[in-house]
Copies of this chain bind each other. A is one copy, B any other.
Amino acid sequence: MYSFRNDYSEGAHPQVLQALTDTNLVQTCGYGVDPICEEARDLIRTVCAAPEADVHFLVGGTQTNLTVITALLASYEAVIAAHTGHVNCHETGAIEATGHKVCVETSPDGKVTPAMVEAVLARHDGTEHMVSPKMVYISDTTEIGTVYTKAELTALRRCCDEHGLLLFLDGARLGSALTSPESDLTLADLAALTDVFTIGGTKNGALFGEAVVLTVPCPHFRWHIKQRGGMLAKGRLLGVQFQALLKDDLYFDIGRHANDMAFRLRDGFKALGYEFPVPSPSNQQFPVMKIQTAEKLAAMGFEFQVERVIDEEHIMYRFVTSWATPESAIDDLLNALAQCQ
């Protein structure tokens, strides 16, 4: 019995929880300007090789996306995203609620390419009668588990430079992305190639938290955080967690473990003859099962989500692994699956 519903089914990685416990009675000032947050910011600048970057900590992903986008765009400017992009379809119109249009292009694999960016631009005439697309939003891993290569990100950067666009990478699942065998990107690459990116904590071992790394100037970013309700009173909780995650590569160990568990799951399914129409090199896996089989697995106590209906008998499901997923849970699942056939 195990839940593969998500990578935020548990609390925090034990080392993160320990750090919170260890610092619990330390007194600091509020709102993220305390010494712990300062150290965490320095650490992030170091691991990103971005000594000039501006680093902020927020609690959640939608909050971070809406704050970054509204802080960097004028009201008539829009953001370009894949149709699968989180800002487009899973944030209840949060971006529009701050006044900005999301210009969408259909993506076969969840990634945005220069050709897609240019297709959006080609639909806009540069006059005052249309929004001005000004930012490209991408996520790594994407919402369907794919990851960017350095070549792909470099091409997007070049495209953005050519058209005067900002590049924003949502790293809600960055731990899994950067440790994926298909990724050759590093934190330093992200700092060099994007204008702003996030290092996701929630889905990679923290209780909560997203670190925003801004290499483009945004002097009043804290005003935007506060105005949009994203400023945590006990801000140091974010600093403590990111320190714990980024010290000694825990962040990457977590990502690697999640991926390893995902690949073990994938390989086990494949060995039993299941297909994965969306090849994912990260901690989300999408096997197609007979509905009947899935119902049996569920009845045995395994949890997972529907991703997409394939036909009347088959559904593509989503299984997600995390720092907390033990090998034994995968093995139990695969054993159960073998029995269900």
Residue ranges of A at the interface with B (Cβ–Cβ < 8 Å): 2-3, 5-6, 8-12, 14, 17, 20-21, 23-31, 59-64, 66-67, 70, 74-76, 78, 89-94, 96-97, 99-102, 104, 123, 128-132, 202-203, 207-208, 220, 222-234, 237, 324
Other than the given A91-B226, A94-B227, 10 more pairs (CB < 8 A) read A10-B27, A11-B234, A59-B60, A60-B230, A61-B233, A74-B220, A76-B227, A128-B220, A132-B220, A208-B234
Q: Is the CB of B94 within 8 A of A229?
A: yes
Residue of B nearest to A1 (CB): B27
Q: Is the CB of B224 within 8 A of A324?
A: no
Q: Which of B21, B30, B208, B228 meets A232, CB within 8 Å?
A: B208
Q: Is the CB of B229 within 8 A of A62?
A: yes
Q: Is the CB of B59 within 8 A of A123?
A: no
- What's the minimum C-beta distance from A216 to chain B, rounded to whole angstroms? 16
Q: Is the CB of B94 within 8 A of A228?
A: yes
Residue of B nearest to A229 (CB): B63
Q: Is the CB of A11 within 8 A of B226?
A: no
Of the candidates A25, A28, A75, the one having the most CB atoms from chain B within 10 angstroms of its own CB is: A75
